[in-house]
Amino acid sequence: MASEMAIDHKEKANQLLKADADKILKLIKVQMDNLTMPQCPLYEDVLDTQMFGLSREIDFAVRLGLIDEYDGKAILDDLEKELLLLHESIKK
């Protein structure tokens, strides 16, 4: 029973972190589409703040043993790749 709960908590933590990464991507898409361009300091501040917050969430989950460090890095890496693709598509 306890191991099932631990697995459930780990799955939930992973889902929540991925959902937070998705929210950041959506926020940046809206900002790029409607408000500012990537060269704007506001864009960079929002992106830096959101990425820092997510990295702290991931670090906390890793320290609690809810996700592996590798999985946490993968979430950040995937988000960074998505943001790079988004940035490149806006430049075209």
Task: Specify the pLDDT at position 37.
Answer: 61
In a domain, 18, yes or no: no
Task: Specify the pLDDT at position 87.
Answer: 79
In a domain, 31, yes or no: no
Q: In this structure, what CATH number is given to the domain that contains residue 47?
A: 1.10.287.750
In a domain, 87, yes or no: yes
**What backbone phi and psi angles, to 5 degrees, belong to 36?**
-140, 170
Task: Specify the pLDDT at position 75.
Answer: 96
| Number of separate domains in the chain | 1
Structural domain range at position 61: 2-13+37-91
In a domain, 76, yes or no: yes
**pTM attached to this predicted model:** 0.82
In a domain, 41, yes or no: yes
pLDDT average per 10 residues of sequence, the chain (92 residues) = 74 94 90 67 81 96 95 95 85 68
Q: Residue 81 burial (CB < 10 Å; 0-12/13-18/19+)? A: exposed
In a domain, 9, yes or no: yes
Task: Specify the pLDDT at position 54.
Answer: 96
Task: Specify the pLDDT at position 36.
Answer: 57
